[in-house]
Structure 1
Amino acid sequence: MSVDTTAAPPASDLGTLIRGRRNARRPKMTQAQLAAIVGYSTSWVCRVETGEIIPAWEILARIAAALDIPPDDLITASHPPGRDPAWDPRSPRSSSGTAATVATGNHAIQEDTVRRRRLLTGAAGFGAAVITGAPATAANRPPADVGTWLETGLFHPPATGPVPLSQLDQALHRARADFRHTRYHTLGAQLPLLLAAADATRDHLTGHAKEYASALAAYAYSLAGELASKQHSETVWVAADRALAAARASGQPAPLGEATRILSVAMRRAGRHHQAADLLTRTSRQLADDPTKQEQAVRAAMLLTCSYTVAHYGDRTAALHMVDEAQDIGRRIHYGSDLEQVTIQATPEQCESFRLSVFNKLNTPDDGVTVVSRISPKAFPTAERRARYYTDTARMWHQLGNDTKTFAALRAVEHEAPEEARRPSVKALTADLLYSSTNLPGLKDFAARTRVGN
């Protein structure tokens, strides 16, 4: 059966649906508000509502989530079954409103229908999780335990289909924000669905889109590895391995460097300090000649991680040299939202914090006192980094035998990030104080709040 390619599609149906649901919102949503949500101009929204533009699939998914429209209804309105695939909303329109011509016929229409169903299967549930920050259905809610969430995400992922790349990027952005603000339980609850969607999306795509999806998947698995490391969970090995596989598929050095850094942390925790340092050194050298900002930021993060690693086997000179080198890179980089995927940033404060970590591991806490005097905790950009700094400060005072200042630093950890205060390494410091002969006011209550002994 032939399809008439000369008649314009009834895009006004789509515009009417969007305009009607926007006006029905209480309070009413303006065109400017909808434009801000989907990332376009007010005039662009106006042209969509008047039928001049049919948005791409991923933008339709954003509109559906913003207006609480079932994605299938919205996409069907823009592309009814049987319509010429030349009007497929996945095909970008020019400013004149003309879509690119593609193959026609029954086979093309059937193939398009299958692809649309696959997209909607993933987008319907995943979109709700992205917008609300919570699992879409009760069936998707994992048990309330970070370790179990990690195991679910890595070994028993929920069933989901591919989603638009913009939606996957948005979910990853939310997950990073949860990590930076130490909302580890919230992050853990989202990880199974995020990881499953990342895998389904990159398996569904080809070419450059697949490479980009692989990079997002690599960052998602690296984030899972960060969380596993904080919990001292052995799942860090699995997360790091999958991050590396996805990073290699992306062909991009930055996600590869971040995945390598996570693997090195797992190796260090297993006592393989020299192997971890060698891995970091080899990979960072591959980035040394790449002048791009992202690659240099990842290289600086690897140097800081390596500095702490070599301190484990007592190489003070190499450790401090790596901190200095990372600090030099950091001076040339402006850390903005474009580098948010890099967990460790070589700002002056973070470099000094790693210098403190090195002195603690070298058992030279007196050197650390000077470092602490140079650091302003308020300068750390995130709660996670401030909590890390206060944890290292507590370790330093503990080595120096000052229980009062150790406890003060531990309370600062709790103040900045309550979930950090329940990490295994912080609980170990608390237990040392609790079971010593020192009777610190408030310590028992602090131990109970942070679940020491549980």
Structure 2
Amino acid sequence: MSHDATSNPYADPLRFGQRVQILRERRGMTQAQLADLVGISPHTLRKIENGQQRTPDLDRVMRIAEALRVRDLADLTGRPDGHVDLFVGPGHPRLAAVKAAIDAFTFPADVEPPPVAHLQVRLHAAWRTRHASKDHREAVGRLLPDLIRDAQALVRHADRAEERRMAQTLLAQTYSLSQFFLAYQPDSSLLWRVAERGMIAAQESEDPHAIGVAAWLLAQAHRDAGPRHFDAADAVNLKAIHHLDPFLPEAGDDVLAIAGALRFELAYTAARRRDTGTAWRQWDRAESMARNLPADYSHPVTSFGQAVMGAHAVTVAVELHQGGESVRQAARADRGVIGSRPRRARHRIEEARGYRLDNQPDAAMASLEKAYQAAPETIRYNGYARTLLLEEVESTRAPRRRRAAELADRIGILHS
């Protein structure tokens, strides 16, 4: 055996610490920033990185993985047998077909485009299906290949300027739907390709609503890429908000709502930065915009409206690591009814994160179970939910450990 070999890399504090340092620097984070996110002192983190302190317990390792947005736990622990995708799901069975449709290169003569009205009806139905389905990725993934093919064909066959703008609007909507399917899938390059194509199609359409939706999704892609991309996320958001401003005085509900959703995204990114004042100030502005919409209104893509603002407040508090505030906002959020199943499940996951921050693990487990009831495919592919469950599977409390293991098994985490 080589003199530098080790039978258990995870047990070697120097190797673990080096991995933490490398991953932290790749994210462009300082020791103080990471320590703050994890809930330890910079001095303690420094000792972990330089090998003066042993590898933390699983709970702390998971917190470090979450803060660094580590996609595979093995990258952090060094254990080849510890392959666990955290922020990327296992890959949906329909991913290959969706990818093939996106990547396909066809000539105008290859596909006969459908009538515009026909594609509009199908897209509208697809969005409704997504919001109503527990297994929304399966439902949408079944529809996307044909929608992508037909929307692309419609653009290629459009002759007049007006026809081409309408076709680009429908193509942008199709790419937006595709991004919801691709979120947390193990193909980040495909997600970026679709986000950029969606933005180009929206700009070509000159449709304010399509531009707003494409910008909303592109900003999220930047933000989820890590701290070094937060400025890019804000730039996209602000540019879109400024573009929409002249339309707002006479705009319909959908344009008003996407402007409000973009405003909230500024709050979300500020919270990721731990900029408390900006985060809550932007949330206030978004909430004010939501109040100008009908009480029962929900945006067809983003779910923005009065009912979702409580859920958004939970997200802001969680990203700011304000455990007590997260729990208070979660109690208030339950007064609103979120119509979309996947959005409702996402809120329950954020609620679980809040309870976990507030040291209420049993309440967190209850929220994850509610997320599963609302939309199993949301929790199955959500990195935060997977992280929370993996923590509790290792709990020293047998009832909680069994409860977590049962849910993890239903979701498929333990054998993914």
TM-score (norm 2): 0.70
Q: Quick check: 2:308–2:336 contact (8 Å CA) kept in 1? A: no
Distance 1:314 1:146, change over 3 A: farther
> Over residues 148-169 of structure 1, what are the superposed CA-to-partner deviations in whole Å (9 max), with x where a residue is unaligned?
2432232137863200011101
- Counterpart of 1:401 in 2: which secondary structure? coil
Distance 1:273 1:232, change over 3 A: farther
Give runs of ≥4 in structure 1 deviating > 6 Å.
none
Who is 1:301 aligned against?
Answer: 261
Cα separation, 1, equivalents of 2:336 and 2:372: 15
Q: Which residue of the other structure, out of 385, 392, 396, is the alignment partner of 1:433?
A: 392
Paired AA for residue 363 in structure 1:
H
Q: Quick check: 1:301–1:342 contact (8 Å CA) kept in 2? A: no
Q: Which residue of the other structure, out of 332, 342, 365, is the alignment partner of 1:407?
A: 365
Who is 2:340 aligned against?
Answer: 382
User: May I ask how many residue pairs the two structures share in their alignment?
Assistant: 310
Unaligned segments of structure 2, at least 5 residues: 1-90
Who is 2:96 aligned against?
Answer: 148
Who is 2:154 aligned against?
Answer: 201
Is structure 2 residue 137 aligned with structure 1 residue 177? Answer: no
Is structure 2 residue 159 aligned with structure 1 residue 189? Answer: no
Distance 1:153 1:317, change over 3 A: farther
> Over residues 102-148 of structure 1, what are the superposed CA-to-partner deviations in whole Å (9 max), with x where a residue is unaligned?
xxxxxxxxxxxxxxxxxxxxxxxxxxxxxxxxxxxxxxxxx961432
Structure 1 position 446, deviation (Å): 1.2
Cα separation, 1, equivalents of 2:335 and 2:406: 25
Structure 1 position 395, deviation (Å): 0.6
Is structure 2 residue 269 aligned with structure 1 residue 318? Answer: no
Q: Quick check: 1:181–1:417 contact (8 Å CA) kept in 2? A: no
Q: Which moved more, 1:180-189 or 1:385-394?
A: 180-189
Q: Quick check: 1:219–1:341 contact (8 Å CA) kept in 2? A: no
Q: Quick check: 1:326–1:346 contact (8 Å CA) kept in 2? A: no
Q: Quick check: 2:309–2:333 contact (8 Å CA) kept in 1? A: no
Structure 1 position 388, deviation (Å): 1.3
Who is 1:253 aligned against?
Answer: 208
Unaligned segments of structure 1, at least 5 residues: 1-142
Whose relative contact order is higher, 1 or 2, with alpha carbons under 8 Å and at least 6 apart? 2
Who is 1:168 aligned against?
Answer: 119
Distance 1:169 1:243, change over 3 A: same
Who is 1:275 aligned against?
Answer: 232
Q: Which residue of the other structure, out of 369, 372, 382, is the alignment partner of 2:327?
A: 369
- Counterpart of 2:376 in 1: which secondary structure? coil
Q: Quick check: 2:313–2:329 contact (8 Å CA) kept in 1? A: yes
Who is 2:403 aligned against?
Answer: 442
RMSD, matched Cα: 2.1
Paired AA for residue 238 in structure 2:
T
Cα separation, 1, equivalents of 2:335 and 2:101: 34
Q: Quick check: 1:175–1:190 contact (8 Å CA) kept in 2? A: yes
Structure 1 position 259, deviation (Å): 0.5
- Counterpart of 2:183 in 1: which secondary structure? helix
Q: Quick check: 2:199–2:215 contact (8 Å CA) kept in 1? A: yes
TM-score (norm 1): 0.64
Structure 1 position 187, deviation (Å): 0.5
Q: Quick check: 1:303–1:325 contact (8 Å CA) kept in 2? A: yes
Q: Quick check: 1:427–1:450 contact (8 Å CA) kept in 2? A: no
Distance 1:254 1:186, change over 3 A: same
Distance 1:199 1:175, change over 3 A: same
